[in-house]
Amino acid sequence: MIWLVLALAADPTDAGTAVRSHTAETLPAGEAVVRWPAGRSAVGLGDHTDAWLTPFDLTIGGPRVGVEHGGRLGATRWSLAPSVGAKTTLKRASLRLETNGSWDVGVHQLSGQVAVDVRLLRQLVVDEEVSRELSFDRVQAHVLGIWDTPHSRVKLRLPLADQGHGLTWGTVSAAWTHTTGRVHMAAGLGMLVGRPFDRYTLGHYAWWFWVPYPEVDLAVRF
């Protein structure tokens, strides 16, 4: 279980609410996607905008909601996805902005994403007077590249910055994918390599990790 938690925590962004995740593709108005187990479910608000919900975002320890707004320029699609997440205790909050681009090259699709996650700590300060103060806690920035074919997906994710550290770890995964009219499935294997840096999964322990993890994605479109 710790492997899965670790991997999911290391793979925090999941933009793209259409059938395939992580792509710059929004849902048409009135359509919805329910996604399992850890992705985001969404509903289309307009032809270029949808709203989404991740029930439990592991990096913040609570739910995350956001919107995604996109557009198309020829074979290129783009989207922006601002979101806000909060720990279930409401002591930590996260503001995230994901920028996505996808390019179709024949049956292949290349996608790229840059995500910046700023976390805030709401502290109960027991000092001369008891007060609650909001303080800056942490910034994470990631870049993600994806290569999709009709029946496969390869992902590579690298952290640009995390608590002052950059490029200290990465994840790479490969999955078989299958999409019918309403259902999208993906099953594969990922590997986390390096020295991840997180408060609650590992502390700051600095072993060089080679951690395999399963990648499972099931989406149903309505």
Partner 1 sequence: MTRILLCVGLVGCATAPSTLDLSDEPIDVAVALGIDHLEQAYSFTEHKRIDWDVVRDELQPLADAASTPEEEAHVLRRLVPYLPDAHVQLFHDDGDDLCPEARHSYDVTLTDLDDGRVIVAASGGPLEPGDTIVSWGGQPVDVAREGAPFWCFPLGAATNERRAQVQLKLLGRGPVGSTVDVEVLRDGVPRTETLSARPDTDDIRVALGIELPETMVDHRRLPSGMAYVRVGWEETYLAETRVQRALVGMRDAPGLVLDLRDNDGGMDMPAANIAGMFSTERFFYETVTFLNHRTFEQETIAELWVEPQEVYWGRPTAVLIDADTVSSGEGLTYLLKKMPQVQVFGFEGTAASFGSTGSGIDFPGGWHLTFPGGRALDERGRILLDSDHTLEGGNRPDQRLPWTEELVLRHHAGEDVVLEAAVGWLKEATR
Residue 206, interface with partner 1 (CB under 8 A)? yes
Q: Residue 9 carries which DSSP code?
A: H
Spatial neighbors of 184 by CB under 8 A, at least 6 apart, are 19, 20, 177, 178, 217, 218, 219, 221
Min dist CB 122 to partner 1, Å, is 7
List the interface residues with partner 1, window 112-141 (CB under 8 A): 121-128, 130, 135
State whether the Cα torsion 77-55-158-3 is positive or negative.
negative
Residue 147, interface with partner 1 (CB under 8 A)? no
**Which CB sits closer to partner 1, 106 or 207?**
207
Which residue in the set 73, 105, 107, 208 belongs to the binding site for partner 1 (CB under 8 A)? 208
CA dist 217 → 40, 48, 89, 105, 143 (Å)? 10, 24, 28, 24, 20
Residue 48, interface with partner 1 (CB under 8 A)? no
**Which CB sits closer to partner 1, 144 or 211?**
211
Min dist CB 126 to partner 1, Å, is 5
Q: Tell me the site size for partner 1, rule CB under 8 A.
A: 29
Min dist CB 61 to partner 1, Å, is 11
Beta carbons within 10 angstroms of residue 86's beta carbon: 19
Spatial neighbors of 128 by CB under 8 A, at least 6 apart, are none
Which residue in the set 64, 92, 142, 153 belongs to the binding site for partner 1 (CB under 8 A)? 92
Q: DSSP assignment of 44-81, as one string?
A: EEETTEEEEEEEEETTTTEEEEEEEEEEEETTEEEEEE
Which residue in the set 2, 73, 105, 107 belongs to the binding site for partner 1 (CB under 8 A)? 2
Binding site for partner 1 (CB under 8 A): 2-3, 6, 89, 91-92, 121-128, 130, 135, 199-200, 202-212
